[in-house]
Amino acid sequence: MLPAGCKQRIAALVGARGYLDRPEDLAIYEYDGSIDKHRPDLVVFPRSTEEVSSIVKIGREFKVPLVGRGSGTGLSGGAIPREGGITVAFARMNRILEIDLGNERAVVEPGVVNLDLTLAVQDAGYFYAPDPSSQRACTIGGNVAENAGGPHTLAYGVTTNHVLGLELVLADGSVVETGGPELDLAGYDLTGLLTGSEGTMVLVTKITVRLMRRPERVKTVLAIFESSADAGHAVAEITARAITPVAVEMLDGVMLRMVEEATHAGYPSDAAAVLLIELEGLREAVEEQTEQLRQASSLCRAREFRVARTAEERELLWKGRRNAFGAVGRVSPTYYVQDGVVPRTKIEPTLRFIGEVSGKYGLTISNIFHAGDGNLHPIILFDARKPGDLEKARAAGEEILAYCIESGGSITGEHGVGMEKNELMPKLFNPDTLDLIRRLKLLFDPDGHLNPGKILPTGKGCLEIRQPALAPGSAAY
């Protein structure tokens, strides 16, 4: 429960249709795309920066935790209100405020759906490059919070590479701006610091992003292999030839069969792995690189090398990739998506290790990932209704992430740390670095009421972020 008077203040601010407080409504906001749950005490839907500022001031006055939320597609628990409190949902702040093609930029509110921005400018020959697989549903505000990526980040980079400026609300309710339409402002890069901060430092209310021109030529190929090891070697061979495709996606045999049954995208159900590769650029360069890809794939024993002949064939191949998680849902009642990163040269041994973990815990693990930058997405299939399965899935995921760290990689490439991986942070960073992160968090949020319990370890110890006690009368769900 919220402290007496808190909900009344919120209701007076946003009106009767601007918040939810019934248990059956709150239940929808207790989870995201991860496997954890925790129910908020109130969900509020601001329509403007001014309302967000007022909500933050009310939350601070009553010492209530505040958690920002886009569309809830996140995969690390970033939008789960771990301490209860108020979820600030940005669904109604969903306007594209400005499109400036002359300067190749746009200004949007945080609730704008990722794909809608590209649809708004595609007829003029432009697009917004960051393209998470959930781009039909995820919001740009959520992408900024998690520094989301997507299949095409190999060439274009992740969200932070396309954010020019932010309008944001600080923990005391004040409104400030960082960055802007200019390409290079003087001073500290606060925009870069806050992109990927997972709502633990500020709430973003406006975003200036970079738009890009569509390339002259696009070509999509599918390289088919009889072993995951050969596919992994092909990625290394492509890199060695100094070719940088805009996307290199890998799907293993388990994933291929699930995707093909669900989408009929034309993937070979009997293969051990495929590489879905996309090239963009000038026509002559793309044709030359396609031949280089053919040679590299052949050298690594690809059994087939297909080139999409039409835009429809390209779209069908990408439909299979983008709907992969939904395809898993047809096979398993629940699944756990991981997000580790390894050097490209370590892909093949990492896949071997994942296979060993699968056997150890008796759980099926399928693999789909951004092979070009070593960003792995092992998907652990389990049944939460079966005693012990959830615990085994968590343990398997932790072993895989620990192996990624030992291999010179990271615990996240694009999904964020959230509440899923924060206890692994000491394996990735030394105490001094963790303390620096802690001090940055407290500089922006000294009372610790913005998205508490995320990113940094919460266990006993000197490096934890000690959250303020829940307000009187509050109770965990």
Using one digit for the tens of pLDDT, what is the confidence trace for 316-370?
999 999 999 889 989 999 999 999 999 988 999 999 999 999 999 999 999 999 9
Retrieve residue 38's tokens.
């925790």
Q: Where are the alpha helices (DSSP H) in 92-202?
A: 114-121, 140-146, 153-156, 190-194
- Taking the alpha carbons at both ends of the chain, their separation in whole angstroms is 9
Best CA proximity match to 143, nearest among 246, 67, 74: 74
Distance CA 109, CA 93 (A): 6
Distance CA 416, CA 152 (A): 18
Using one digit for the tens of pLDDT, what is the confidence trace for 278-310?
999 999 999 999 999 999 999 999 999 999 999
Retrieve residue 383's tokens.
């049944």
CATH number corresponding to 217-320: 3.30.70.3450
- Report the topology of domain 6-89: 3.30.43
Please state which architecture CATH assigns to domain 96-213.
2-Layer Sandwich (3.30)
Q: How much is the pLDDT for 84?
A: 97
What does the domain layout of the chain look like in residue ranges? Answer: 6-89, 96-213, 217-320, 332-406
DSSP bridge partners of 341: 375, 410
Half-sphere exposure of 100 (CA within 13 A, CB side): 13
How is 394-445 classified by DSSP, letter by letter? Answer: HHHHHHHHHHHHHTT-BS-SSS--TTTSGGGHHHHS-HHHHHHHHHHHHHH-
Which strands sit side by side in the sheet containing 86-89, from one edge to the other? 19-20, 42-44, 86-89, 66-69
CA dist list (Å): 210 to 99, 104, 159, 269: 10, 6, 10, 39
Burial of 460 (0-12, 13-18, 19+ CB in 10 A): exposed
pTM: 0.93
pLDDT along the chain (477 residues), means of 10: 95 97 97 95 98 98 98 97 98 98 97 98 98 96 97 95 97 97 86 98 98 96 96 93 94 96 94 97 96 97 97 94 91 94 93 97 96 95 96 97 97 96 96 97 97 88 42 35
Is residue 233 left, alpha or beta, with left meaning phi > 0 and alpha meaning psi from -120 to 50? alpha
Which residues does 66 contact at the CB level (< 8 Å), separation at least 6? 55, 56, 59, 85, 86, 88, 203, 449, 450, 451
How is 25-63 classified by DSSP, letter by letter? Answer: HHGGGS--SSS-----SEEE---SHHHHHHHHHHHHHTT
Domain 217-320 shares a fold with domain 332-406:
yes
User: Domain 332-406 classified CATH 1.10.1300?
Assistant: no
Retrieve residue 213's tokens.
């021109």
